[in-house]
Amino acid sequence: MTEKTLHIVGGGMAGSEAAWQAANMGIKVVLHEMRPETGTFAHQTGNFGEMVCSNSFRSDDSEQNAVGLLHWEMRAANGLIMQTADQHRLPAGGALAVDREPFAEAVTAALKSHPNISTDYGEIAELPSEGMWIFATGPLTSPALGEAIAKETGTDRLAFFDAIAPIVYAESIDMDVAWLQSRYDKGETEEEQKAYLNCPMTKDQYEAFIDALLAADKTEFHEGETAGYFDGCLPIEVMAERGRETLRHGPMKPIGLTNAHRPEEKAYAVVQLRRDNKLGTLYNIVGFQTKMKYGAQAEVFKMIPGLENASFARLGGIHRNTFLNSPTLLDDQMRLKSRPNIRFAGQVTGVEGYVESAAMGLLAGRLAAAELSGRDMGPPPGSTAMGALIHHITGGAEAKTFQPMNVNFGLFPPLDGIRGGRKGRKERYKGYTDRAKEDFSQWLEGQS
Ligand SMILES: Cc1cc2nc3c(=O)[nH]c(=O)nc-3n(C[C@H](O)[C@H](O)[C@H](O)COP(=O)(O)OP(=O)(O)OC[C@H]3O[C@@H](n4cnc5c(N)ncnc54)[C@H](O)[C@@H]3O)c2cc1C
């Protein structure tokens, strides 16, 4: 092993992009991949960059959509996943959909023919103490490696399932209905006493809500996905199936709360939302992890008083998903604080989605290559899509309730002088994306 070799484990979205970026910066890369010898329940081939489910990289609109902006930044940084997607694009309206097999074959061919990249097939089941490594082993990290990671981080800091409650943009919540209060006004400071946002329900509203939950379309678990799932993350619709009153005695209990707008009225049930980021732009609905289909979720959750016009930064879900508590474990270079020779990248760092995973691979590859070359490189500023994501996972997110995150404008620092609310949305998003493009270009220039 030479000093300048970078080892990357996992040839998925993140590992493939990391290898490409580091190799293009003149670093020798060994890409380790366990497939096809050892498979996962979702992958079908031995190719790098395999899309395990949908064939879409979502919106390609870089002016009005945060994922589209991430595409733009990855193209600007000569990203392999984006340039290969562009070559194998299928008609899909404003979305970037691809012909998945030729796409993965082309990613594989590009990596295998790169003079700085060699491949090594086989499972890596330990965290090495020497050399520089990036682990990009994804949501389906092999069980043996998962154990080794948990041994290093502590079992409470590595999750094997996500239990994602929907996340709402704060600005879309009707504060004439909702109010801020922690149960029993608990907390030392005023901020703590007002840490939750509460949405009250009458008996009729509660009954209608339970009916809608029970009737909603649900998604099924994949075969082999469910082992170990039922520990403390029951979907709300499963709780509702256990009894119509279960939720009213669980996450929707009304006790210890007084409606600030109508103190004389006792709510029959209360839905609570908790701040999800330091900026205070996002709130998650407490205890509302769900397997309802996305369309059904939007309909059902808008029945909650105060959320009638809610915009969702992400909808809920429960999946097999190995991910780190990155806000406590990783530094802003994506290095494991306890073992700085190891970086993590991709979905295992607590981002969610092909594009976000590839973007975190792009950053990890560049940051590792810079470190191996003895150059200082920081992550892009938080005003860019990549920067907003890395800042969120390595610090901005609430560590205690950390769950995987999609890129969205709620992660961006607010812009001065631009209208809030729905009416100003188009102008605001354009403001975010213009600022991001300028700042990202400057960050890239600083590296050349
Ligand atoms: C079932 C499922 C469906 C999904 N559907 C979508 C979707 O439709 N759209 C979307 O945007 N996102 C989806 N995701 C989420 C996620 O974005 C993708 O999983 C994405 O591929 C993550 O990229 P990654 O590089 O982090 O992981 P992966 O692409 O999974 O790559 C990880 C690689 O590491 C390898 N590996 C694992 N352990 C080891 C080991 N010990 N040694 C060597 N190699 C190892 C794996 O074989 C794999 O090739 C889905 C996830 C799952 C699990």
Q: Where are the domains of the chain?
A: 5-157+324-446, 163-320
Give nearest CA residue, ligand 1 atom 15: 353
Q: What is the 16 CA–ligand 1 centroid distance (Å)?
A: 11
Specify binding-site residues for FAD. Answer: 10-15
Amino acid at site 402: F
Amino acid at site 58: R
Cβ–ligand 1 distance for 10 under 6 Å, the answer yes
Q: What is the 321 CA–ligand 1 centroid distance (Å)?
A: 9
Could you tell me where the DSSP H helices lie in 178-288? 190-193, 203-215, 236-242
Given a cut of 70, whether residue 20 has pLDDT beyond it is yes
Helices 100-112 and 80-87, interaxial angle, to 10°? 130
Backbone torsions φ then ψ of 19, nearest 5 degrees? -65, -45
* Structure-model confidence comparison of residues 54 and 145, the more confident one: 145
Q: What is the 136 CA–ligand 1 centroid distance (Å)?
A: 9
Q: What is the 140 CA–ligand 1 centroid distance (Å)?
A: 6
Cα separation of 203 and 65, whole Å?
Answer: 39
What's the confidence (pLDDT) of residue 230?
52
* Structure-model confidence comparison of residues 210 and 422, the more confident one: 210
Task: Please state which architecture CATH assigns to domain 163-320.
Answer: Beta Barrel (2.40)
Mutate which of 9, 31, 45, 52 for ligand 1? The one with the most ligand atoms within 8 Å of its CB, which is 52
Cβ–ligand 1 distance for 407 under 6 Å, the answer no
* Burial class of residue 2 in the structure, from the number of CB atoms within 10 Å of its CB (0-12 exposed, 13-18 middle, 19+ buried): exposed
Three-class SS state of 365: helix
Q: Which two tokens stand for residue 4?
A: 């300048």
Position 77 confidence tier, pLDDT thresholds 50, 70, 90: very high
What's the confidence (pLDDT) of residue 224?
64
Number of the ligand 1 atom closest to the C-alpha atom of 56: 9
Cβ–ligand 1 distance for 17 under 6 Å, the answer no
The number of beta carbons lying within 10 Å of the beta carbon of residue 76 is 15
Q: Which two tokens stand for residue 19?
A: 């290898």
Judge whether 209 and 201 are in contact, CB under 8 Å.
Answer: yes
Given a cut of 80, whether residue 186 has pLDDT beyond it is yes
- As a three-state string, the secondary structure of 83-100 is HHHHHCEECCCCEEEECH
Given a cut of 50, whether residue 2 has pLDDT beyond it is no
Position 40 confidence tier, pLDDT thresholds 50, 70, 90: very high
Q: What is the 246 CA–ligand 1 centroid distance (Å)?
A: 35
Given a cut of 90, whether residue 94 has pLDDT beyond it is no
Number of the ligand 1 atom closest to the C-alpha atom of 54: 8
Quick one: average pLDDT of 261-267?
A: 96
Judge whether 236 and 287 are in contact, CB under 8 Å.
Answer: yes
Q: What is the 146 CA–ligand 1 centroid distance (Å)?
A: 14
Cβ–ligand 1 distance for 141 under 6 Å, the answer yes
How many CA atoms lie within 13 Å of 219's alpha carbon, on the beta-carbon side? 17
The number of beta carbons lying within 10 Å of the beta carbon of residue 347 is 29
Q: Which residues contact 28 (CB under 8 A, 6 or more apart)?
A: 2, 4, 5, 6, 116, 118
* Structure-model confidence comparison of residues 191 and 34, the more confident one: 34
* Four-residue CA torsion sign, 72, 76, 80, 86: positive
Number of the ligand 1 atom closest to the C-alpha atom of 356: 17
What's the confidence (pLDDT) of residue 391?
96
- As a whole number, the mean pLDDT across the chain is 93
Q: Write out pLDDT tens, residues 95-123.
A: 899 999 999 999 999 999 999 999 999 99
What's the confidence (pLDDT) of residue 280?
87
What's the confidence (pLDDT) of residue 431?
96
What's the confidence (pLDDT) of residue 41?
87
Given a cut of 90, whether residue 4 has pLDDT beyond it is no
Given a cut of 80, whether residue 221 has pLDDT beyond it is no
Given a cut of 90, whether residue 279 has pLDDT beyond it is no
Superfamily of chain region 5-157+324-446: FAD/NAD(P)-binding domain (3.50.50.60)
What's the confidence (pLDDT) of residue 102?
95
Give nearest CA residue, ligand 1 atom 4: 53
Cα separation of 155 and 147, whole Å?
Answer: 9
Q: What is the 35 CA–ligand 1 centroid distance (Å)?
A: 12
Cβ–ligand 1 distance for 14 under 6 Å, the answer yes
The number of beta carbons lying within 10 Å of the beta carbon of residue 372 is 18
Judge whether 361 and 345 are in contact, CB under 8 Å.
Answer: yes
Position 228 confidence tier, pLDDT thresholds 50, 70, 90: low
Strand partners, 292: 218
Cα separation of 21 and 78, whole Å?
Answer: 8
Element (H, E) at 160: strand 158-164
Quick one: average pLDDT of 66-80?
A: 98
Q: Write out pLDDT tens, residues 385-400.
A: 999 999 999 988 888 8
Please tell me the pTM assigned to this model. 0.87
Cross-sheet strand order for the sheet of 95-98: 56-59, 95-98, 89-90
Number of the ligand 1 atom closest to the C-alpha atom of 49: 29
